[in-house]
Amino acid sequence: MSALKESEYHLSAFTADEQLIIKASLWERPDSYCGSQFFGTISLFGQSRDSDILEQSNHLTALNELGGETESVQVIRAAHWACGWVDSIQVAITNVAATKKACELIRSYESYPVLDESDYAERQSDYYSEFAEQGKDSVAKTIVKQFGLPSECTEDPDLLTVGYALHMEAQYDGGEYSCCNFNNEYVAEYCERDWIDLTDGLERLDDNGHLEGNPYYIFLCAALNIGGES
């Protein structure tokens, strides 16, 4: 991808609206930057090491919509002191078709910030599921400790299912960095706030009907006077 100075490219092939988007998205040399130059390109849908699921989804969706990497559509990675690295999609303005597509994607994002609902939902579900799998053992141990259940219950698949479901529900309710607050096997006795959090999580599960027939879910609902299972 060759670098063009502003005087070397023309915008006559683009509509007035597209020209506004292009001018707002033109690559500019960042402060303290010492890498390659990308004048004559527009930057869109970056991601970094710390990007959330939506940024990752939008980045890859946009790249796919642009036909993947080519000579005039490239993903440029730069080191960053705060977040390790930053990727950006750079589209050469000389590729009129790709630039028009990029403008279309930017307009779509400005109207609604999810470029591909199905891709985002799939990535979200995968991330939540992985996190819940990692945390379900701790939730099971916490429940066993706080309710005085036999220690062997910690390995019961039905109780692990409850732990998994509570973690999933916490994330869907609070976002991808949320977790089940009732999730600390090392605390001797839980405070009122912890019991409220557990009750709230179980009530949301009750509303969704995810654990119908699960013996531990039935026990917890009965112990905490939650409607539904009894």
Q: Are residues 27 and 111 in the same domain?
A: yes
Percentage of the chain beyond pLDDT 90 is: 60
* Residue 18 pLDDT exceeds 90: yes
Q: Are residues 85 and 174 in the same domain?
A: no
Closest Cα to residue 211, out of 157, 146, 172, 138? 157
Are 104 and 15 within 8 A, CB to CB? no
Q: What is the pLDDT of residue 230?
A: 41
Are 66 and 101 within 8 A, CB to CB? yes
Domain span holding position 217: 125-223
Count of structural domains, the chain = 2
pLDDT in tens, 92-128: 999 999 999 999 999 999 999 999 999 999 999 999 9
Q: Residue 41 CB: number of other CB atoms within 10 A? A: 30
* CA separation for the pair 176, 165 (Å, rounded): 14
Q: What is the pLDDT of residue 229?
A: 43
67 part of a folded domain: yes
User: Which pTM was predicted?
Assistant: 0.74
Q: What is the pLDDT of residue 219?
A: 96
Task: Quickly state the pLDDT bin for 7 (edges 50, 70, 90).
Answer: very low
Of the residues 115, 145, 168, the one at which a domain ends: 115
Q: Are residues 83 and 145 in the same domain?
A: no
* CA separation for the pair 195, 7 (Å, rounded): 65
The average pLDDT across 47-63 equals: 94
Q: Are residues 144 and 109 in the same domain?
A: no
